[in-house]
Amino acid sequence: MVRKLLIGGVLALLVLGVAGGVWYWQAGKPVEKRGSAGEEFDRTDTPGAQRPKTKRIAVPWPTYGYDVQRTKVSPYDHRPPYRRLWSVDARDTLEFPPTAGYGNVYVAQQKGLFYALNAKTGKPVFKTKDFKRCAASSPTIANGTIYQAYMDFVECGENDPDPTGFLIAMDARTGKEKWRFKGMPIESSPLLKDGILYFGSWDNRIHAIRAKNGKEVWSYDTGDRVNTSPAFSKGLIFAGNQAGSVYALNAKTGKLAWRAASGASALGAREFFYASPTVAYGRVFIGNSDGTMFAFGAKTGKTLWARPLGTYIYSAAAVWDRKVYVGTYDGKFFALDAATGDTKWEKEMVSAVHSPPTVMDGLVYVAACSSCGSEASRFVKMGDKDLTVAFNARTGKQVWSFANGKYAGPIIADQDRVYLTGRSILYGLEPRKVRGRPGPGTSAAVIQRGKAKKARKARTPRRAERGRRGSTN
């Protein structure tokens, strides 16, 4: 009898153990949900359709992700092959891509150096500045001013009990300081909209300050660090935080419109948001560090779809042609249906993807990082080289590669050139003239005149040939 009771007890414990294991596994699983084009999906939105109104504009690439929605779609139509014009070694990692304006390219190096380079030659425009602080963001430029965020002194304040940081405004032509907004470290690339700069900080807040003088308009406490770069759409500012929440705030007042979680489980909240949000089609697309890609309704904050893609997502997404492009640390790069989250195509990369992609003229550019995630607790695909690749954005076919890349968004562009960010090197590239293809910066009128001239030349020999034939008959 005692033996039977013991056996029964052991079996009960085994059943409870299995049930507990299943519960734990289910509780820890990333959330998964398929979406629909019938719910909060704006079919009229066309990311990347806005082209510069004039051939020459003062600031062709003003901010991280190009526009205030952070879509990362270039309005320029450069395509490979490219010819290298110049390269500049920044002497340490370039974690975020540059911006371009006033004939220059501006970029912040990870360990405190700030470069202003002539876009045509790569030569310094003003003396390279050394802030002796870490930088993990892109500058924003407008109205003759550079706005750049900085973190704590090198080594970045991770273990400092009282780290500091600031956002600085500098003259775009001379580098002269105009003002500083001081506080805790800022990893967020500032967003400029209607004279107000928006950014997140280690003080757990999303800040709104005046671009002309750095005076604060409002701030909102999210309860944890905000490292993501805010995006804007239809009067709302969107940003994610380290607690795994996404916030939509009224851009004028800072009032909360909605808050969405990355998918709380029985074991607590999911992991954090480091990737910045991208807004398109009436949705907010953002990847979580647990490897799940989310689409939230921009008006409601409702989870419209969620797709577990890999071990980590640190890459912000690009959105174009009703597709969402994003990479993972286990070496995958995806094109997802923006309406449903379904995979349209998937590519295997040589190593982890930390880089946010860029779409230009039907190609999507993305960089692979050989050393990213060396201290990760889950699988990360390590490689022996950094690489930037361009795929056909519709089909996934690889059309070009460049033997450098790492963290930063792989390319930005202006009317004449492409600027590619390697591990520590910034490259100025020019599209090579290919027979039958117009050169960079060629206007539509010039192209049309060229076509008409070709047509006239084509007709002239035929008339002459008919005349010669007539004389021999």
The residue ranges of every structural domain in the chain are 28-432
Q: What is the average pLDDT across 153-157?
A: 86
Taking the C-alpha atoms of residue 191 and residue 200, their distance in angstroms, rounded to an integer, is 10
If you count them, how many residues does the chain have?
Answer: 473
Taking the C-alpha atoms of residue 48 and residue 169, their distance in angstroms, rounded to an integer, is 28
Q: Which two tokens stand for residue 84?
A: 């290298």
Computed over every residue of the chain, the mean pLDDT equals: 88
- Give yes or no for a cis peptide into 81 (omega within 30° of 0): yes
List C-alpha distances in Å: 260 to 219, 226, 264, 284, 400: 19, 15, 10, 11, 38
What pLDDT does 8 receive? 58
Range 160-180 burial, b when 16+ CB lie within 10 A, else e: eeebbbbbbbbebeebeebbe
What pLDDT does 408 receive? 84
Give the residue among 304, 247, 336 at the shortest CA–CA distance from 31: 304
- Give yes or no for a cis peptide into 177 (omega within 30° of 0): no
What are the phi and psi torsion angles at 12 (to 5°)?
Answer: -65, -40
Structure confidence at residue 92 as a pLDDT band (50, 70, 90): very high
Structure confidence at residue 471 as a pLDDT band (50, 70, 90): very low
Give the sign of the dihedral formed by CA 44, CA 49, CA 52, CA 58: positive
Give the sign of the dihedral formed by CA 170, CA 171, CA 176, CA 178: negative
Chain mean position to CA 164: 26
Domain 28-432 fold = Methylamine Dehydrogenase; Chain H (2.130.10)
Question: Left if phi > 0, otherwise alpha if psi is -120 to 50, otherwise beta: which for 132?
Answer: left
Range 7-44 burial, b when 16+ CB lie within 10 A, else e: eeeeeeeeeeeeeeeeeeeeeeebbeeebeeeebbeee
Give the residue among 332, 250, 285, 272 at the shortest CA–CA distance from 47: 285
Question: Left if phi > 0, otherwise alpha if psi is -120 to 50, otherwise beta: which for 395?
Answer: alpha
**How many CA atoms within 13 Å lie on the side-chain side of 105?**
29
Of all residues in the chain, what percent carry a pLDDT higher than 90?
Answer: 76
The answer to whether 363 and 79 have CB atoms below 8 angstroms apart is: yes
Give the residue among 416, 417, 419, 380 at the shortest CA–CA distance from 402: 419
Taking the C-alpha atoms of residue 209 and residue 354, their distance in angstroms, rounded to an integer, is 29
What pLDDT does 436 receive? 53
What pLDDT does 266 receive? 38
Encode pLDDT of 4-37 as tens digits: 555 555 555 554 544 444 333 344 556 899 999 9
pLDDT: is 51 or 402 the higher one?
A: 402
What pLDDT does 157 receive? 78
The answer to whether 396 and 342 have CB atoms below 8 angstroms apart is: no
Structure confidence at residue 409 as a pLDDT band (50, 70, 90): confident
**How many other C-beta atoms can be found within 10 angstroms of the C-beta atom of residue 134?**
26
Structure confidence at residue 155 as a pLDDT band (50, 70, 90): confident
Indicate if the pLDDT at residue 473 is higher than 60: no
Q: Which two tokens stand for residue 283?
A: 């949705």
Encode pLDDT of 176-218 as tens digits: 999 999 999 999 999 999 999 999 999 999 999 999 999 999 9
Indicate if the pLDDT at residue 433 is higher than 60: yes
Taking the C-alpha atoms of residue 112 and residue 284, their distance in angstroms, rounded to an integer, is 32
